[in-house]
Amino acid sequence: MADRDLRINEQIRVREVRLISDEGEQQVISITQALEMAKEQGLDLVEVAPQASPPVVKILDYGKFKFENEKKVRDAKKRQKLLKLKEIRMQPKIDDHDLDFKSKHVKEFLADGNKVKVTVRFRGRELAHTELGLDVLNDVLKRIEGEYVMDKPPAMEGRFMSMVLSPKSKK
């Protein structure tokens, strides 16, 4: 919830509000009464659920509340893992050693937690034999031995045949 969506004290312009106490008790009271209660405690009246009818408010220290929310957002960002999409390109007439080498790279990318797009590029008359590209992609799958989840199976996209793999989750 963004802080600019929250209204505090006199910004709340409704007749009645649902006040939630620190103990979790709820009561519907007038806005003036709620504001007086907040001023007596030296705290702010903060609208936490403006879409409710009547709007839900709490009496709390707004500065502290804002800080705690920002802290939650920062922690959530830290825990987020950014997935990168790496691409490995090859041709249908790839040599065995080169295929081993590229498959090793695919394995490394998956081990690092990245998604991998494996692409076979067809040139000229090679387009007449797309089954060779499919064989190459299947060979790659055999060489990386189940360390993946297939997001997108092999499919033609113009002159390219590609598939997308992502690492198996560690959970």
The proportion of the chain whose per-residue pLDDT surpasses 70, expressed as a percent, equals: 96
Confidence of residue 4 (pLDDT cuts 50, 70, 90): low
Q: Which of 114, 132, 112 is nearest to 123 (CA)?
A: 132
Higher pLDDT, 29 or 24: 29
Q: Is the predicted pLDDT of residue 159 greater than 70, yes or no?
A: yes
Ordered structural domains, the chain, with CATH: 3-78 (3.10.20.80), 85-167 (3.30.110.10)
**What mean pLDDT value characterizes the chain?**
85
pLDDT for the residue 62:
83
Instruction: Give every CB contact of residue 19 below 8 A, 6+ residues apart in sequence.
Output: 26, 27, 28, 29, 34, 37, 57, 58, 59
Cα 130 to Cα 121: distance, rounded to the nearest angstrom: 10
Structure confidence by residue, pLDDT tens digits, 43-69:
888 888 877 888 888 888 888 888 988
pLDDT value for 14: 81
Q: Say how far apart CA 159 and CA 122 lie, in whole Å.
A: 5
pLDDT band at 120 (very low <50, low <70, confident <90, very high): very high
Check residue 5 and give its pLDDT: 64
Q: What is the DSSP pairing of strand 148-157 with strand 115-121?
A: unpaired
- CA 109 to chain CA centroid, nearest Å: 20
- Residue 40's pLDDT band, with cuts at 50, 70 and 90, is confident
